[in-house]
Amino acid sequence: MTDAETAPAAAPVPPAVTGRVCENCGHALLGETCYACGQPTKGLIREFSTILGDFFDTLLNIDSRIVRTIGPLFARPGALSLEYFAGHRVRYVSPVRLFMFLSILAFVLAQWSLDVNVGNDTGGVQVGRGKETTNNQMGRAKTIPEVEHLRDEALAELAKAREESKDVPGVAVGLDIAKTKVSEAAERRIAEIRDGKPPSPEWNQTPGSFQFNDKPWDAKTNPITVSWLPEAGNRKLNEWIGRASGNLKRGSQDPDLIKNAFLSVVPQTLFVLLPLFAVLLKIAYAFKRRLYMEHLIVALHSHAFLCLCLALLSVLSLLDDWVGVRAAFLSGTIGWLEFGVAMWMPIYLLIMQKRVYRQGWIMTLLKYFVLGLAYSIMLSFGALAALLISLVWM
């Protein structure tokens, strides 16, 4: 028989020490969890408001620490990551929960502040002529100057939308695609007018219609078929295309539907891209012998900072709209604040990279631009995937 088996069981600590005992085993409580059996003191038989508070605290872990976290996150590049590496973690919100909280907040605010009036199958925009698209208007145009006027008007609307959404990750990708399609459509119609040809039938396509094999797509008569997909896969693919077509038609009437659907999936897209960005950091700083999780912490803090800036820009945009008709002189000040936040974003990330990885400025700048280019490509693909997902599931 071992010593552990022969040793007498530890006597319960007298309740007088804390005045409370565990309801399960009778040992005195020294905290919020019984040290003997592990049962927490808080059950469900209590005020519902306290249960809600515990739920949100467990889900987001957002409490008074958010005040101590937001300041360094915005004003001290790399400070939170270095504190985390040094073991000073309890005073700050954890990186994962910080990113989740700020990303959701940022894109909710972006939905409120951003008004993108675009959305049809040719990349055209609604330009104030009822529910008619730029594509239909170009098809009816009889002269080259009229087509050029419609093109310039649509491009101006897209440029305005791009400027308003320049700080929203991924939105610029869709707007650039729309810009290209508007220019291509104008060139095609101008060529028809020069050659004296009548407008082709495609000018009368309704928003949301697709072409496949030079014919209108139809799930039964002209479906898209991918040879290496099984029958069930092709059936599901055409089901998604049909859903996207219907949503595009709805979006042509109310472009905010597409915008809101897209912004609702961007946080999930960024969460998927985070580990990939950490891989890029791991490759760029392979000789630093840092663990992958350290790079992931840096990625989480940098993305949380970007989401915080996006939230600030959205708030400033909403404030500018509100004060515009009440105190026009404040609009200039808000504009400078927006400019300052936008300029601080790339500067902050550069300083953060320099402080965390402690390399010379030449190597830091080189890796900064290479990482930025690589991540921009990843972000473009991610934004395209998010756009397709939002079209299918909006």
**Contact assessment for residue 196 and residue 144, using Cβ atoms and an 8 Å cutoff:** no
pTM for the predicted model, two decimal places:
0.63
pLDDT of residue 380: 81
- Looking at residue 17, its pLDDT comes to 47
The answer on pLDDT for 93 being more than 90 is: no
- Unique residue bearing structure tokens 């992958």: 292
Give the per-residue pLDDT at 36: 82
H or E, element range at 139: helix 134-140
C-alpha–C-alpha distance, residues 305 and 309, integer Å: 6
* Distance, CA of 317 to CA of 331 (rounded, Å): 10
d(CA 177, CA 81): 37
Residue 129 confidence (pLDDT) above 50: no
For residue 331, the model assigns a pLDDT of: 72
pLDDT recorded at residue 237: 79
Sequence letter at residue 202: E
Q: 57-71, 109-123, 179-193: which has the minimum mean pLDDT?
A: 109-123
Token representation of residue 8: 């007498």
- Comparison of pLDDT for 62 and 197, the residue scoring more: 197
The answer to whether residue 313 scores a pLDDT higher than 60 is: yes
pLDDT over 60 (residue 19): yes
Return the minimum-mean-pLDDT range out of 55-69, 125-139, 302-316, 355-369. 125-139
Which tens digits make up the pLDDT trace of 335-363?
888 889 989 999 999 999 999 999 999 99
CA 300 remoteness from chain centre: 13
Task: Give the H or E element holding residue 106.
Answer: helix 95-113
pLDDT for position 334: 83
- Which of 30-44, 195-209, 215-229 shows the lowest mean pLDDT across its residues? 195-209
Of the candidate ranges 116-125, 301-310, 356-365, the one whose mean pLDDT is the lowest? 116-125
Span 23-31, average pLDDT:
81
Can you state the angle between helices 95-113 and 65-75, rounded to 10 degrees?
A: 70
Percent of the chain whose predicted confidence (pLDDT) is above 70:
68
Average pLDDT, the chain: 76
Task: Encode burial over 261-296: b for 16+ CB neighbours within 10 A, e otherwise.
Answer: bbbbbbbebbeebbeebbebbbebbeeeebeeebbb
Q: At residue 55, what is the residue type?
A: F
